[in-house]
Amino acid sequence: MLNRRLFLKSSALIGCSAAAHPLLNSIAFASAPGENRLVVIILRGAMDGLDAFQPYGDPNLRALRRTISTGPEDGAHDLDGFFALHPALSPLLPLWRSGEMGFAPAVSTPYRDKRSHFDGQDMLEAGTGTDLGEGSQRDGWLNRLLQQMPGVQSETAYAVGVEEMRILSGEAPSMSWAPELRLELSPQAQMLLERVYHDDPLFQAAGAQAMEIASMEIGGEKEEGGPTRDARALARFAADRLNQETRIASFSLPGWDSHARQPQVISRALERLADAILTLRDGLGRNWSRTTVLAMTEFGRTVRENGSGGTDHGTGGAMLMAGGAVRGGKALGRWPGLGEGDLYAGRDLMPVRDIRAYAAWALRDLFDVPRDLLETAVFPGLDMGGNPRILA
């Protein structure tokens, strides 16, 4: 017990100023987790937003990119006369048309200039600003949200997949499970393990839960094969949990780092993303109408195509939102333009808004989290600005 107490104290005093830390903040929001659901998908490797949502209406695009992001003439789907959806995302067109999918084309975390995947992802998941050193960011913003929620059980939030999710790490309880974990136990072995664990409460509880989750065989081997199988397995498991007690789920999809041969690289990644979202929709059934999916990446990519038919690490990028609860069918936020003077550092898309502001407004509208709590505890130092109204 002492150990835990020390840990609590330590995390209360480390990292951010005392006033900004949730444990020292007496405000708490009143409502229990409720029926609304949130899925956060971390796109690891930096998605090229300019290729996913191609601004073909911007006259500068053609000069910057010759073989990629070539708009409707090469099969991308026009969305609004200015942006076109990458062909690999075409399975999501029905969601766009029914207003269940939208995007913000030019957002970013406060991370700038060094363009390291690891630092960028750390900052995205920590939800903090640049005032903290990379090493000081200990817990993730979804965990700090949970720390503020009344009535949180460990099942309230799930990190899905074998990949570590810093976004959920921290002192608030949460669950994690990887759909590929399968316990190929004979009935006899299972019975023997139960007996062996019987007198050890910690192992008894963990073992019983492990065997129960594994026995449900969600995702895992029942998922059909194919290149998007892993993504579907993650989404299937998340949907199943969200149909039970879980209200927040997070997983990551890798494979976005398209330095060369971008058409092949990004198509595979976008197909996985599209399938994950559609699997969530199918798995959630009528709960889809109360679900918001946010797909976020650590930063965007260079506006210019490089010499290998790819793009390099950039700054501003796109965020995708989907779900029955979102007010989609449009691009959110201003378009910064692609002219020479419009770019960040002469090479990257200029972010016009902090990606955390979108996440914060989603949390406010989904879970009734007060704004001052979001700006101090969940995203310390964030100015949320006006409500972009991504929820219906």
Partner 1 sequence: MVAYPELAAIRLGFGLSPLIPPPTDAAAVLASVASAAPDAHAVRTQDFREATIARAELVQKARDGDEAARQEAQRQRDEVVERNGHAVQRRFARAVGDPAGFGERLVQFWADHFTVRGGNPFQILLANAFIDEAIRPHLNGHFADLLFAADTHPMMLGYLDQNSSVGPRSRSARNRPDRKLGLNENLAREMIELHTLGVDGDYGQRDVRQLAKLLTGLRFNARRDEIFLPQLAEPGAETVLGKSYGGDGEADLGDIRAAMTDLALHPSTAEHLSRKLVVHFVDDDPPEDLVRRLTAAWQDSDGHLPALYAILVEAPELETHFRKKVRQPFDFIVASVRALGLTGDDVLGLELTKARNWLQYPMTGMGQRWGMPVGPDGWPEGASSWATPQGLAARIQWSLRFTPRLQPDLPQPEAFLAAALGSTASEALQWAVPKAETAREAVMIVLASADFNRR
Task: Specify whether the CB–CB gap between 269 and 48 falls below 8 A.
Answer: no
Min dist CB 313 to partner 1, Å, is: 12
Q: Does 202 interact with partner 1 (rule: CB under 8 A)?
A: yes
Per CB under 8 A, the list member of 30, 81, 151, 195 interacting with partner 1 is: 195
Task: State the Cα–Cα distance between residues 149 and 377, nearest whole angstrom.
Answer: 12
Per CB under 8 A, the list member of 69, 70, 156, 176 interacting with partner 1 is: 176
Per CB under 8 A, the list member of 40, 89, 92, 213 interacting with partner 1 is: 213
Residue type at position 79: L
| CB atoms inside a 10 Å sphere around CB 133 | 8
Q: Does 192 interact with partner 1 (rule: CB under 8 A)?
A: yes
Per CB under 8 A, the list member of 38, 43, 47, 214 interacting with partner 1 is: 214
Task: State the Cα–Cα distance between residues 170 and 146, nearest whole angstrom.
Answer: 9
Span near partner 1 by CB under 8 A; candidates 196-204, 217-225, 244-252, 341-349 = 196-204
Return the closest-CA partner of residue 50 out of 265, 304, 276. 304
Min dist CB 388 to partner 1, Å, is: 30
β-bridge partners, 254: none
Min dist CB 152 to partner 1, Å, is: 16
Task: State the Cα–Cα distance between residues 96 and 164, nearest whole angstrom.
Answer: 31
Q: Does 117 interact with partner 1 (rule: CB under 8 A)?
A: yes
Per CB under 8 A, the list member of 64, 87, 93, 119 interacting with partner 1 is: 119
Size of the site for partner 1 (CB under 8 A): 54
Task: State the Cα–Cα distance between residues 176 and 239, nearest whole angstrom.
Answer: 14
Interface pattern 121-160 for partner 1 (x via CB under 8 A): ------------xxxxxx----------------------
Per CB under 8 A, the list member of 14, 27, 63, 345 interacting with partner 1 is: 14
Span near partner 1 by CB under 8 A; candidates 202-210, 231-239, 250-258, 370-378 = 202-210
Token reading at 374: 């979001």
Return the closest-CA partner of residue 236 out of 256, 254, 216, 255. 216
Per CB under 8 A, the list member of 56, 96, 177, 361 interacting with partner 1 is: 177
Span near partner 1 by CB under 8 A; candidates 5-13, 76-84, 92-100, 282-290 = 5-13
Task: Specify whether the CB–CB gap between 156 and 146 falls below 8 A.
Answer: yes
Min dist CB 284 to partner 1, Å, is: 22
If the CB atoms of residues 175 and 318 are measured against partner 1, the closer one turns out to be: 175
Phi-psi region of 317 (alpha: psi -120 to 50; beta: other; left: phi over 0): beta
Collapsing DSSP to helix, strand or coil, 160 comes out as strand
If the CB atoms of residues 105 and 161 are measured against partner 1, the closer one turns out to be: 161
Task: Specify whether the CB–CB gap between 36 and 287 falls below 8 A.
Answer: no
Task: State the Cα–Cα distance between residues 302 and 385, nearest whole angstrom.
Answer: 27
Residue type at position 129: G
If the CB atoms of residues 121 and 287 are measured against partner 1, the closer one turns out to be: 121
Q: Does 6 interact with partner 1 (rule: CB under 8 A)?
A: yes
Task: State the Cα–Cα distance between residues 102 and 329, nearest whole angstrom.
Answer: 5
**How big is the CA angle at 257 (ends 384 and 138), to the nearest 5 degrees?**
45
Q: Does 327 interact with partner 1 (rule: CB under 8 A)?
A: no
Write out the H or E segment, with its range, that includes residue 231: helix 229-242
Q: Does 193 interact with partner 1 (rule: CB under 8 A)?
A: yes
Residue type at position 305: E
- The footprint of partner 1 (CB under 8 A) covers 1-4, 6-7, 9-10, 13-14, 116-119, 133-138, 162-164, 166, 169, 175-178, 181-186, 188-189, 192-193, 195-200, 202-203, 206-207, 209-210, 213-214, 307
